[in-house]
Structure formats: structure tokens, C-alpha cells
Amino acid sequence: MQTPVHPKLEPFPGTSWGLGVLVRMDSAKIGRPVSNGTYGWSGAFGTHFFASPKDNLSAVFMTNRSDIGGSGSIVSKRIEELVFEQEESMSKSRMEAFSDGVLAIIITIMVLELKVPEGSNWSALQSVAPVFAAYILSYIYVGLNWVNHHHLLSIVKAVDGKMLWANLAWLFAMSLIPVGTAWIGQLHTI
């Protein structure tokens, strides 16, 4: 895709020309959240488009104004920044929020299984100890999984369909924990 006119041609830091459009070659030099291989074109009257095959993104921004003085290029750069920022945060944050909500419901269901002891002595407290111990272990397990999920998603840039389905499968498995907790807590009576 890269066919520079001259080997040292770099119209802007981290870019080159190819197929008549500007191609981002080194995102570190560009200083914006633009992936390598992103290509685009900016016109004289504020029209701007770009496509990022790697991120499956494209944007078209059209205005009818003169770009005398270079102010349109500032707008074009900011449009790219906003599109990339929005794409990265939107689907990832929705998955995080949904997962956090499901895990909160799981913990709530588990705590609702705890019953108040019938009496005010130690033997009454001992009667609910197995259920309480099962709750503590399950709470720690859910908490560890939540922390691991948080750390895993901190390194993820974008979420695709496969990741959403994998997350749903994980949440399904996690949703069975209250059943296991209640079952283990009832085993003390057998």
C-alpha cells in the first residue's frame, strides 16, 4: 500500500503517501490514537475522511468552509481522536458495566441465603456456621474473579463479538455460584 514518491518523503511525522491518500505508518510519531495503516484524505474546504482497516473504523466529516490558515486540519485531527477514543471506550465500558452488574446480583443472591440464627447463644450461631462459611468462600471466589476480570479488561483495547460471547459464557458459569453456595451450605444437615 505504501508507494512514496521519494524514499525520504514523510509529509507529516509518521506518515507517507500511498494510492493517493495519506497513510499513517508510525502511530508513535503521530501522537494520536491512530492505528498504523490508517489512511485518509483532507480536502481544502474541510472535507475529511479516514479508514482504519485494523480497527474496522471509518469516518467522513464534511464541512463547507475554507481551510485557509490550516484551522481545518486541527478539526480533522480532533475528529480522528474522538472517533478512536469513542470506539475504544464504548463497547468495552458497556461490557464492564454489564459484568459488574451481574456479579453484584450474584453476591446479593448469595447474601440473601443467609438466615438469622434462632437464638442468642453460641449453639444457635453454630447451626448457621456452615452456610456462613460457604458464603465467605463463594464471596472470595467471586471477588477474585471480579479482580481478574478487571485486570484482564485493563489491557484490552476493543471488544469484539467473540469476546462478548466468551464474557457471557463466563457470567453464566458465575451465575451458578449461588446455587452451589446454597447446596454446600445445606450439606451440614445430611
Tell me, yes or no, whether 34 and 96 share the same domain. Answer: no
Tell me, yes or no, whether 113 and 144 share the same domain. Answer: yes
Residue 91: its pLDDT value, please?
65
Number of structural domains found in the chain: 2
Residue 184: its pLDDT value, please?
80
Tell me, yes or no, whether 148 and 97 share the same domain. Answer: yes
Which residue type sits at 75?
V
Residue 58 in any domain: the answer is: yes
Residue 7 in any domain: the answer is: no
pLDDT digits (tens, 9 = 90+) for 133-155: 888 999 999 999 999 999 999 88
Sheet containing strand 21-24, edge to edge, reads 15-18, 21-24, 39-42, 48-52, 57-61
- The mean per-residue pLDDT over the stretch 63-88 comes to 60
Residue 48 in any domain: the answer is: yes
Residue 1 in any domain: the answer is: no
Structure-block grid coordinates of residue 57:
473504523
Contact 75, 47 (CB under 8 A): no
Residue 78 in any domain: the answer is: no
How far is the C-alpha of 144 from the C-alpha of 150, rounded, in Å? 10
- The mean per-residue pLDDT over the stretch 94-103 comes to 92
How far is the C-alpha of 49 from the C-alpha of 40, rounded, in Å? 5
Tell me, yes or no, whether 65 and 93 share the same domain. Answer: no
The backbone torsions φ and ψ at residue 83, rounded to the nearest 5 degrees and listed phi first, read -65, -45
- For residue 33, the enclosing domain spans 15-69
Lowest mean pLDDT among 38-42, 55-59, 80-84, 154-158: 80-84
Structure-block grid coordinates of residue 163:
469476546
Residue whose cell numbers read 460457604 = 134
Tell me, yes or no, whether 97 and 61 share the same domain. Answer: no
Residue 3 in any domain: the answer is: no
Structure-block grid coordinates of residue 101:
452488574
* β-bridge partners, 157: none
Residue 175 in any domain: the answer is: yes
Instruction: Give the confidence band of 174 by pLDDT, cuts at 50, 70, 90.
Output: very high
Tell me, yes or no, whether 181 and 99 share the same domain. Answer: yes
Does the pLDDT value for residue 162 go beyond 70? yes
Residue 23: its pLDDT value, please?
73
DSSP E strands in the chain: the ranges are 15-18, 21-24, 39-42, 48-52, 57-61
